[in-house]
Structure 1
Amino acid sequence: MLTFTPINENTAEEVGRYYSLCPYRISDYSLGLKMMWRYMLDSEYTVSHGCFVVRSKIRGRYAFDYPFPVEENADILAALSDMADFCSENFLPFEFSAVPREFVHVILERYPNVETRTFRNYSDYLYAAEDFIHFSGKRYAGQRNHVKKFHAKYPDACFRALTSEDEPLIHAFRERFTEEFHKNSYGAKNELERAWRMLRYVGSPLFRCGGYVLNGELISFCLAEKCGDTLVDHIEKALPDYEGIYPAMVQEFAARFAADVKYINREDDAGDHGLRTSKTQYQPIEILDKYSVKVKNELYHVEKIPELETERLVLDAITEEDIPAYNRLCLDDERNRYWGYDYRRDCENPDEEYFYLDQKKDFGSSTAMNFAVRLDGTFIGEVILYHFDFRGGAEIGIRLLPEYEGHGYAGEAYRGACDYALYGIGMYEVRGKCYRENQKSQNMLAGVMRPAGEDETYYYFRRTV
């Protein structure tokens, strides 16, 4: 099971080292972006099979970045399996954010039920570092002219690296820039506030900072981060009173800090018309699309829990009328011992509706389907279809109230759930397991499925079509 660590000031150095190895050239795969938007993303990381794995909150729900190798013999497919297992075990949607275009096919080929989308406003602009250093050729004639005008008009302007000792200069620049900032949209104002929070990293070896100084005043500021062969520009700000300052800053920053990279990423334009025009005029060699990917299981197509009939039983949705009996089942420590789950891990003192609402939530998020098992209309237990592997397989579990054991109801209900999973919603495989000491469950599973191995804790079973 994956264990995640928050990305924050305490882990920034380690996370920065990992991102310095990232080959993807997309700004989302950088320490700067994770820290700049930390309040919203709540990003966490781990390492799986030699790959760096990050998950962040996108519109309130966690999604993974695509894993990238940080160790020799890294195995991205194995890391993807761990990520899927993490979501399955924790009843979470399996989703990705900012997947590079060239890796979308890996997900599509691996998982049978996938939804993808991309949004132009979030696409990054990628440039050749050499182009910015030299501004050569006709396509950069406009930029060269602006740079010449800037140097002719402000011959004493000097570009230099910035360190923590320049805090007074940077503070004064921030104050003046904010005073002259005229964009009123929430997005623009929020981005500016996020940018200022990154000033704490000026002088850090994790970032490269520089700007033009004129007459003792800082008139431009840029902060960037090297990720693989790409320099990701997180912040580019300049006082608009100085004609030509932006192209002059872009060129000089590249000359000073981009000699050891092939590419420069100037991030997205967030749908801002002026930014899109400006970033396009700098002649990007590629617009880097980022894909949101939802890996779905078979429950995504099920609108409501069906009613299934077996010889003696009915399987259908758990209702509010079942709450007293359902609570007795869920609170039974003997049942939970073999169920393999202690509710106290999630809720020490559940209220009357806790278990009912929890299973309802799981079905609403398409992570599990809980059936009531009924005998002549009476609730006698539950069957759950869960732990979807997103590749056509899932696990089935069953538990009955103690007074209904020993009559073959468990096997009958279990077989009905298996048939529904395989033939009703088109799964390829269903799995079951039981503790080695649970002889009754072992006999029941053996009557419905085929043995699929064992370990020190469980006997495993499976059934396929």
Structure 2
Amino acid sequence: MEFKKLTLNEIPLIKPFFVIQKSRICDYSIGGLFMWRDFFYTEYAVEENILFFKVKYVNDMIAFTIPMAESQEAVRRGLDLLCGYAAQNHYAPIFCMTSAEDRSVIEDYFSWKGFSVLCRSDRKWADYLYTAESFLEFKGKRMHGQRNHVNKFKATYPNWTLREIGPELLPDCLSLLEKITRRNTKSDPIALEELAKTREVLENYAVYGMLGACLYVEEQIVGFSVGEIVYDTLIVHIEKGDTDYEGVYQVLSNEFAKRFVTPEVKYINREDDSGDSNLRTSKLSYHPLKILEKFTIWIEQ
């Protein structure tokens, strides 16, 4: 098995595997994987039509994701191959970014072989999963705050429009991104990587193949969102707004859902909060259906 550095050239190769995976966590999406590929030094390999990822995780720990394949039998075969690779290269068999469903697969596989399995999750990397319906109208008493923000924005700025991102709107998105960055300079590595990859997505928009929309007041861009649909879930990867316009984020989230939720889309994943208390408060205010834990798994003899 030969691992290679993951680049944007591999998007067409990787994308079909996410359809097979049918996962709702953001890591198993083009945006979730490729926007963080450099941060985690992601490498990939394909063997026997099975996809493998190797990353440099927390504290430079080498870890793997669960193999991706068309059947559970093939996934187990992938685990066989991965264990062989790890042993040959003196790596401990450690798995990261593991969903609850995939945790069960890994636990069953290694327990049957007589190994002990240790699982841990970190709340700051858990995804927020919502029903798609809840973002379409902000119905009910508990969503009255979001609904009020939307109504106030639309009353204050009656000439607002939502426009799908195309090549002609990308310069506006980049201009707004720079404006927001100048206002809110952050120095932590996660924020800097998110900023760099937001630029990359906009500069390589056709390559990423995302869904996106810009919010305008008259001819002034005030926000934009970018995401993708995987399985039955709309995953929102990027959401940027000019907070001079009160209610911009509530309108963005509402209108983005209206534009891109289809009858097949049942859920919206708005990703994790990275341990940011303000972001956590904001995401909780939309009343998630579920917090999707992600596990790191250690295998012990």
TM-score for the superposition, normalised by structure 2? 0.90
- Choose the corresponding residue for 2:239, options 232, 236, 239: 236
Query: 1:13-68: CA deviations, max 9, x gaps?
Result: 22123224431111111221222122222222334555432222213233111233
Question: CA contact under 8 A between 1:173 and 1:217: conserved in structure 2?
Answer: no
State the number of aligned residues.
295
Aligned to 1:17: 16
Aligned to 2:271: 267
Question: CA contact under 8 A between 1:54 and 1:65: conserved in structure 2?
Answer: yes
Amino acid of the structure 1 residue aligned with 2:210: F
Is 1:176 the equivalent of 2:215? no
Looking at structure 2, the residues matched to 191 and 171 of structure 1 have their Cα atoms a distance apart, in angstroms, of: 14
Report which structure shows greater RCO (CA 8 Å, sep ≥6). Answer: 2
Looking at structure 1, the residues matched to 206 and 109 of structure 2 have their Cα atoms a distance apart, in angstroms, of: 43
**Closer, same or farther: CA 4–188 of 1 in aligned 2, 3 Å:** closer
Question: CA contact under 8 A between 1:49 and 1:76: conserved in structure 2?
Answer: no
Question: CA contact under 8 A between 1:65 and 1:98: conserved in structure 2?
Answer: yes
Amino acid of the structure 1 residue aligned with 2:61: R
**Closer, same or farther: CA 170–77 of 1 in aligned 2, 3 Å:** same
Question: CA contact under 8 A between 2:26 and 2:269: conserved in structure 1?
Answer: yes
Query: 1:279-313: CA deviations, max 9, x gaps?
Result: 0011110000000011133xxxxxxxxxxxxxxxx
Aligned to 1:83: 82
Question: CA contact under 8 A between 1:115 and 1:294: conserved in structure 2?
Answer: yes
Amino acid of the structure 2 residue aligned with 1:265: N
Looking at structure 2, the residues matched to 64 and 184 of structure 1 have their Cα atoms a distance apart, in angstroms, of: 28
Aligned to 1:224: 227
Bigger Cα displacement from structure 2, 209-218 vs 14-23: 14-23
- Choose the corresponding residue for 1:145, options 142, 148, 151: 148
**Closer, same or farther: CA 185–89 of 1 in aligned 2, 3 Å:** closer
- SS, match of residue 16 in structure 1: helix
Q: How far apart are residue 139 of structure 1 and its match?
A: 2.1
Q: How does 1:378-389 map to 2 (within 5 A)?
A: none
Amino acid of the structure 2 residue aligned with 1:261: V
Is 1:295 the equivalent of 2:294? no
- In terms of Rg, which structure is larger? 1
- Choose the corresponding residue for 2:283, options 273, 279, 283: 279
**Closer, same or farther: CA 204–215 of 1 in aligned 2, 3 Å:** farther
Q: How does 1:18-417 map to 2 (within 5 A)?
A: 18-48=17-47, 50-59=49-58, 60-69=60-69, 71=70, 75-111=74-110, 112-181=115-184, 183=186, 185-204=188-207, 206-259=209-262, 260-297=264-301
**Closer, same or farther: CA 47–185 of 1 in aligned 2, 3 Å:** closer
Question: CA contact under 8 A between 2:8 and 2:207: conserved in structure 1?
Answer: no
**Closer, same or farther: CA 47–139 of 1 in aligned 2, 3 Å:** farther
Question: CA contact under 8 A between 2:165 and 2:212: conserved in structure 1?
Answer: yes
Query: 1:177-202: CA deviations, max 9, x gaps?
Result: 11222555454344323322221233
Question: CA contact under 8 A between 2:174 and 2:202: conserved in structure 1?
Answer: no
- SS, match of residue 219 in structure 1: strand
Q: How far apart are residue 74 of structure 1 and its match?
A: 5.5
Bigger Cα displacement from structure 2, 106-115 vs 122-131: 106-115
Looking at structure 1, the residues matched to 109 and 170 of structure 2 have their Cα atoms a distance apart, in angstroms, of: 50
Identity of aligned residues (%): 34
Looking at structure 1, the residues matched to 289 and 52 of structure 2 have their Cα atoms a distance apart, in angstroms, of: 28
Looking at structure 1, the residues matched to 158 and 217 of structure 2 have their Cα atoms a distance apart, in angstroms, of: 9
Amino acid of the structure 2 residue aligned with 1:231: L
Looking at structure 1, the residues matched to 131 and 97 of structure 2 have their Cα atoms a distance apart, in angstroms, of: 21
Q: How far apart are residue 155 of structure 1 and its match?
A: 0.9
Q: How far apart are residue 203 of structure 1 and its match?
A: 4.0
Amino acid of the structure 2 residue aligned with 1:266: R
Q: How far apart are residue 93 of structure 1 and its match?
A: 1.5
TM-score for the superposition, normalised by structure 1? 0.60
Looking at structure 2, the residues matched to 262 and 51 of structure 1 have their Cα atoms a distance apart, in angstroms, of: 28
Q: CA RMSD in A?
A: 2.1
Unaligned runs of 5+ in 1: 298-465
Looking at structure 1, the residues matched to 32 and 276 of structure 2 have their Cα atoms a distance apart, in angstroms, of: 19
Bigger Cα displacement from structure 2, 205-214 vs 78-87: 205-214
Question: CA contact under 8 A between 1:34 and 1:41: conserved in structure 2?
Answer: no
Looking at structure 1, the residues matched to 24 and 137 of structure 2 have their Cα atoms a distance apart, in angstroms, of: 21
Looking at structure 1, the residues matched to 182 and 275 of structure 2 have their Cα atoms a distance apart, in angstroms, of: 24
